Amino acid sequence: MIVKVCGLKDPANHAAVAALPGVDLTGMIFYPASPRFVQLPPDAFETGKETTTHRVGVFVQEEVERVLELQERYRLEFLQLHGNESVDYVKELRKRMPAGTKIIKAFAVKSEESLALTHPFHGICDYFLFDTPGPGHGGTGRQFDWSVLEQYVGETPFLLSGGIAPEHLSVLYTFDHPRWAGIDLNSRFETEPGIKDIEKLSQFIAQFREP
């Protein structure tokens, strides 16, 4: 089960999260309107230490050229598209991105009709991310009705997002779907936007991964 921690903008905090046992993906947001927007240069995030985690770059309707530029500079292995990117956009990105790169496409879910929007993206995205609808393109810190996902019958695996917090552990233990691939953690584990509470994260991830 994948554990992704998103919205990391401080190099020291990013390094601490990347070093936590059980973290697979660390997300860096490259959307200027986000309070978690990464503004520091790539060198600031280089610690020289080996890590088993993979970096995810989060983009909102960004030009393909810019996405590819930032992917190279920040050594991004996953590209998460969190806007209204078209199928043609994803195909163009996939054609030009380095081999081995994975694409995550985010969708706001509020009904079975929302899930129908995923249909054209099957086969061109590696993962979907199901999030809570909000007024903008960022996370809301609120949970959506996960029971809607019972209607998801696609083949593309998905990450569960949307205000996941420590109190949701019992619900996560009982959540089940054949395409559920992992969770996305963000605002409910922060001391301030972009800064994660390492102890809180560590405890939650250890409990989540308990057999």
**What local confidence, expressed as pLDDT, does residue 59 receive?**
98
**What local confidence, expressed as pLDDT, does residue 112 receive?**
87
Do the domain assignments include residue 173?
yes
Do the domain assignments include residue 26?
no
What CATH number does residue 137 fall under? 3.20.20.70
Do the domain assignments include residue 197?
no
Do the domain assignments include residue 207?
no
* CA torsion through residues 208, 209, 210, 211, sign: positive
With left for phi above 0 and alpha for psi between -120 and 50, is residue 162 left, alpha or beta? Answer: left
**What local confidence, expressed as pLDDT, does residue 211 receive?**
65
The number of distinct structural domains making up the chain is 1
Distance between CA atoms of 81 and 129, rounded to whole angstroms? 9
Distance between CA atoms of 138 and 29, rounded to whole angstroms? 10
Do the domain assignments include residue 29?
no
Q: Give catalytic residues, as residue numbers.
A: 6, 131
Coil vs helix vs strand at 176: coil
Low-confidence ranges of the chain (pLDDT < 50): none
Domain limits at 175?
34-55+63-183
Single pTM value for the model: 0.94
Do the domain assignments include residue 155?
yes
Do the domain assignments include residue 99?
yes
